[in-house]
Amino acid sequence: NAGVTQTPKFQVLKTGQSMTLQCAQDMNHEYMSWYRQDPGMGLRLIHYSVGAGITDQGEVPNGYNVSRSTTEDFPLRLLSAAPSQTSVYFCASMGGIYGYTFGSGTRLTVV
Amino acid sequence: AQTVTQSQPEMSVQEAETVTLSCTYDTSESDYYLFWYKQPPSRQMILVIRQEAYKQQNATENRFSVNFQKAAKSFSLKISDSQLGDAAMYFCAYRSLGAGSYQLTFGKGTKLSVIP
């Protein structure tokens, strides 16, 4: 089925470890983004991309890196995980005027 | 920058009754989109309803309707005939129509409980 695929769904990291959250979409959407969701905070934008080779920072970019080498993929990298990065992460893509599609989320715990 | 405020962290409603969730926003723009998203325990983000700011008519989707007051910058969601499956987090979101603006700005959410 067409949509946004996020992996993994759950992850536990130790402080200082690195990892990459994967996001792929098969809808040929140019715009992709990463959000984090924390209790009582809603969803906050981390990074976004308007096309292959183009990325920009959102509201809470510190501690995260992104790249966009293809239209389909938009991975989010944590270089040195911190407990403050414990959160639920959502990838989303947009096609058309307001056609956002969200992935199913990744619950990350940093201990 | 735009901000979205949901002043009710939690609400409850009796099954079959009507409930209204509040949302206000702050913007200097005249054209934008507003959305309500539902997030059940499965974590999936589900679009409930959307409103284009240039449309005066309030959007309606089955049991869900909005009261869009542009001058007051208010965008409330009314759920009629509440069902157990309506229990979820509800997020109000704003999207600018400015050049290169694609991101959504979310409120902090309202947790809705439905009492049988």
A28-67 pLDDT per residue, tens: 999 999 999 999 889 999 999 999 999 999 999 999 999 9
Q: pLDDT over 90 for what percent of chain A?
A: 89
Decide if pLDDT at B99 tops 80.
no
Given this model, what pLDDT does residue A33 score? 96
pLDDT at B96: 87
Kindly determine whether residue B102 and residue A33, on different chains, have CB atoms separated by under 8 Å: yes
Using CB atoms within 10 A of its CB, is residue A46 exposed (0-12), middle (13-18) or buried (19+)?
A: buried
The confidence score (pLDDT) of residue B40 equals 96
Note the pLDDT of residue A95: 79
Tokens matching residue B30: 């005249």
Question: Which residue, among A38, A26, A43, has the nearest Cα to A93 in the 3D structure?
Answer: A26
Set of chain A residues whose Cβ sits within 8 Å of the Cβ of B106: 35, 42-44
Residue A2 reports pLDDT greater than 90: no
pLDDT in tens, B8-30: 999 999 999 999 999 999 999 98
Q: Which of A31, A43, A105 sits opposite B102 (nearest CB)?
A: A31
Average pLDDT over residues B39-52: 94
Would the CB atoms of B35 and A98 count as touching at under 8 Å?
yes
Provide, as residue numbers in chain B, all residues whose Cβ is less than 8 Å from the Cβ of A102: 44-45
Predicted local confidence at residue B98, as pLDDT? 75
Predicted confidence band of residue A103 (pLDDT cuts 50, 70, 90)? very high
* pLDDT one-digit tens code per residue, B47-88: 999 999 988 889 898 999 999 999 999 999 999 999 999 999
Q: Is the pLDDT of residue A97 over 80?
A: no
Cβ burial A65-103 (10 Å sphere, 16+ → b, else e): ebbbeebbebbbebeebeeebbbbbbbbbbeeebebbbb
DSSP state string for chain A: --SEEEE-SEEEE-TT--EEEEEEESS--SEEEEEEEETTTEEEEEEEEEETTEEEE-SS-TTEEE--SSSSB--EEESS--GGG-EEEEEEEEETTTEEEE---EEEEE-
Contact (CB<8Å) A94/B109: no
Contact A63, A85 (CB under 8 A): yes
Q: How confident is the model at residue A98 (pLDDT cuts 50, 70, 90)?
A: low
β-pair type (B74-79, B64-69): antiparallel
Instruction: Please say whether the beta carbons of A89 and A96 come within 8 A.
Output: no
Q: Do A100 and B50 touch (CB under 8 A)?
A: no
Q: Are strands B10-14 and B110-115 parallel, antiparallel or unpaired?
A: parallel
A69-93 pLDDT, tens digit per residue, is 999 999 999 999 999 999 999 999 9
Angle at the Cα of B9 (from B8 to B12), degrees rounded to 5?
Answer: 80
